[in-house]
Amino acid sequence: MIKYIFWDLDGTVTRSEGGVISSVKYALDKLGMTLPESELRKFIGPSLFDSFTNRAHLSAEDAETAIKYYREVYEVTGLFDAEVYDGVPEAMQELKDKGFKHVVVTSKPLRMAERVLEHFKIRQYLETVVGPKPDDHSSDKEKLIRAALEYFGADESEAVMIGDRCFDIDGANAAGTHSIGVLYGYGGREELTASGAEMIAETPADIPKIILKMF
């Protein structure tokens, strides 16, 4: 029986490309680089370090510098250049009223995630927030999901991970939890089904229906 609902942040709770992409552009410009828009959108999901090394092909040292530049902008204005997806608060409230416990499990550094969730009035629905420390460059969602399970002392079968990217579904599969992929974020049906998402939600309003009927 599902008791705990783990939500990804960027692309699942918030539409955040504005702040992320503008901050990435700023960092790359400081390094004398540019990337096409299609590549910039792929920065949403994995850790910044992975994106700067894999997408921009920076060395580890240059990626650290790029992250520093990114945060010069993102931590001041970029964090709040976003919006909550329509229907997410209502979905959270409906499920909370039925006794489910919500957690945001994100690859965004924890202190930044907390600021975003407070600003957009989502923190009130959550039991806790799980995310990496600023110097943790891993995109390993499995580790974060396991930390959330440990917080509750929960069994893997009692939790479902909701996310828009393969990283969320891969992490759920590795940790042994259930998974729901969402189509309104930055991934897509092909990416999510290829990773093995158990169920697919087209809109936030579909999430309570899936959880209440299928789990």
Q: Catalytic residue, from 8, 164, 168, 170: name it.
A: 8
pLDDT digits (tens, 9 = 90+) for 38-96: 899 889 888 899 999 999 999 999 999 999 999 999 999 999 999 999 999 999 999 99
Q: What is the pLDDT of residue 191?
A: 96
- Residue 94: exposed, middle, or buried by beta-carbon count in 10 A (0-12, 13-18, 19+)? middle
pLDDT of residue 34 exceeding 80, the answer is yes
pLDDT digits (tens, 9 = 90+) for 143-184: 999 999 999 999 999 999 999 999 999 999 999 999 999 999
pLDDT digits (tens, 9 = 90+) for 105-123: 999 999 999 999 999 999 9
Q: What is the pLDDT of residue 45?
A: 81
* Amino acid at site 23: S
Give 17-80's CATH code, choosing from 2.170.150.70, 3.40.50.10680, 2.40.50.100, 1.10.150.240: 1.10.150.240
- 140 as an active site residue: the answer is no
DSSP state of 101: E
The SS3 of residue 118 is helix
Q: Does pTM top 0.85 for this prediction?
A: yes
Polymer length in residues for the chain = 215
Rounded mean pLDDT, 190-205 = 98
Rounded mean pLDDT, 195-205 = 98
Q: What is the pLDDT of residue 18?
A: 94
pLDDT digits (tens, 9 = 90+) for 183-197: 999 999 999 999 999
pLDDT of residue 136 exceeding 80, the answer is no
Using H for helix, E for strand and C for coil, what is the string for 43-87? HCCCCHHHHHHHCCCCCHHHHHHHHHHHHHHHCCCHHHCCEECCC
Which class is 4-15+82-214 in CATH? alpha beta
Q: What is the pLDDT of residue 140?
A: 87
Note whether 92 and 86 are within 8 A (CB): no
Structural domain spans, the chain: 4-15+82-214, 17-80
Q: What is the pLDDT of residue 135?
A: 78
